């Protein structure tokens, strides 16, 4: 899978956006990358995608360093793709069906095959009823689901998701979360977010990034206990961790587990 080794990225003016970043995507199935605004998350993603070229260090895919010629990059992006934060910018067609089919048509897949794949994807992102709709009629949440579908359709091995729940209402966040969980059964996902509750529940390994450096890493149940580290990175703790610390309630992964936990029930 993807390994980022001592990556450094400098802007044209010489400021370092990323310093000595090491990331190993084999450490989990859904990897969280969290950090405050301007911490370097998006720059890191663009480096992993091969859009930006690191000043130092390498990105390895299946232990082979990334090559930056056009053909290698095109092949690489069949394996690694990304869902960007703003869905508006990712929709090019005025029909949902065409938009999801976009990448497949670029790969010259036959129309029959496209129809099958798009239907499958529409079903998985719960957007079947939107199929024929013009994209400018969709709500923000619907657009988000369609863009996730547009990335899923290529059948890549890795999907990077930049702020998948930002700007969504609670119900829509919940839906996106379930889509992500469902996806993680077959793909490697990398998620960046400001929503600590979301990261805590969904990810199985987390990197904390601040000012272009990795401050810490670990499984969520451990990393979110490190108060100083989180404070330095300008982040907060998930509510489940807070009630664990303040009220002594056992640490659980999500709300459901909390409600089912016998120990907690008795103590209440």
Partner 1 sequence: MLLIDKYAYTNRLTNTNPYIKFAIVVIALAMATITTNIYINLSILIIMSMLTTVVAGIPINKYFKLLFIPSTFLVLSILTILISISRVDIYAWRIEIFNYYIGITESALQESILLSTRVFAAMASTFFLGLTTPLNNIIRVLKKMYLSNVLIELLVLIYRFIFIFLKEAMEIHTGQELKFGYSNMKNSLRSTGLLISSLFTRLILRYRDMVVILECKLYDGEFKIGD
- The residues that touch partner 1, with contacts defined as CB under 8 A, are 46, 49, 51, 73-74, 77-78, 81-82, 84, 86, 88-95, 98, 101-103, 105-107, 111, 114, 132, 134-137, 150-151, 154
How far apart CA 128 and CA 131 sit, in angstroms, is 5
Which lies closer to partner 1 via its Cβ, residue 98 or residue 245?
A: 98
Which lies closer to partner 1 via its Cβ, residue 19 or residue 77?
A: 77
Q: Are 225 and 218 in contact (CB under 8 A)?
A: no
Rg (Cα) of the chain, in Å, rounded? 19
DSSP 133: S
Residue 251 C-beta: closest distance to partner 1, Å: 37
* Three-state SS sequence of 15-73: CEEEEEEEEEHHHCCEEEEECCCCCCHHHHHHHHCCCCCCCEEEEEECCEECCCCHHHH
Residue 221 C-beta: closest distance to partner 1, Å: 33
CA trace torsion 188, 194, 196, 201 (10° rounding)? -30
DSSP 256: H
Give, for 2, the enclosing helix (H) or strand (E). Answer: strand 2-10
Which lies closer to partner 1 via its Cβ, residue 39 or residue 90?
A: 90
Which lies closer to partner 1 via its Cβ, residue 113 or residue 174?
A: 113
Which lies closer to partner 1 via its Cβ, residue 65 or residue 134?
A: 134
Which lies closer to partner 1 via its Cβ, residue 154 or residue 202?
A: 154
Residue 92 C-beta: closest distance to partner 1, Å: 6
Can you spell out the DSSP letters for 157-222? SEEEEESTTTT--HHHHHHHHHHHHHHTTTSEEEEEES-HHHHHHH-SEEEEEETTEEEEEE-HHH
Residue 157 C-beta: closest distance to partner 1, Å: 14
Which lies closer to partner 1 via its Cβ, residue 11 or residue 239?
A: 11
Residue 220 C-beta: closest distance to partner 1, Å: 28
Residue 24 C-beta: closest distance to partner 1, Å: 23
Residue 90 C-beta: closest distance to partner 1, Å: 5
How far apart CA 73 and CA 43 sit, in angstroms, is 17
């Amino acid at each position: 899978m993807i390994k980022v080794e001592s990556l450094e990225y400098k802007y044209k003016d010489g400021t370092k956006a990323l310093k000595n970043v090491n990331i190993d995507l084999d450490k989990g199935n859904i990897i969280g990358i969290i950090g405050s605004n301007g911490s370097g998350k998006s720059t890191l993603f663009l480096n992993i995608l091969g859009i930006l070229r690191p000043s130092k260090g390498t990105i390895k895919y299946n232990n082979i360093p990334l090559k930056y010629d056009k053909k290698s990059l095109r092949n690489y992006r069949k394996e690694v793709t990304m869902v960007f934060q703003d869905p508006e910018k990712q929709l090019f067609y005025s029909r949902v069906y065409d938009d999801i089919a976009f990448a497949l048509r670029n790969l010259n897949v036959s129309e029959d095959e496209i129809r099958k794949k798009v239907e499958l994807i529409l079903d998985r992102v719960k957007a079947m009823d939107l199929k024929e709709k013009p994209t400018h009629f969709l709500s923000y949440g619907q657009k988000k689901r369609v863009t996730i579908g547009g990335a899923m359709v290529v059948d890549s091995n890795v999907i990077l998701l930049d702020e998948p729940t930002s700007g969504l209402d609670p119900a829509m966040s919940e839906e996106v979360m379930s889509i992500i969980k469902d996806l993680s059964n077959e793909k490697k996902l990398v998620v960046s977010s400001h929503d600590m509750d979301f990261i805590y529940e969904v990810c199985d390994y987390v990197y904390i990034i601040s000012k272009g450096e990795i401050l810490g890493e670990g499984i969520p149940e451990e990393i979110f206990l490190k108060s100083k580290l989180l404070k330095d990175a300008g982040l907060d703790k998930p509510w489940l961790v807070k009630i664990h610390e303040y009220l002594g309630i056992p640490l659980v992964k999500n709300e459901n587990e909390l409600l089912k936990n016998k120990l907690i029930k008795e103590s209440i």
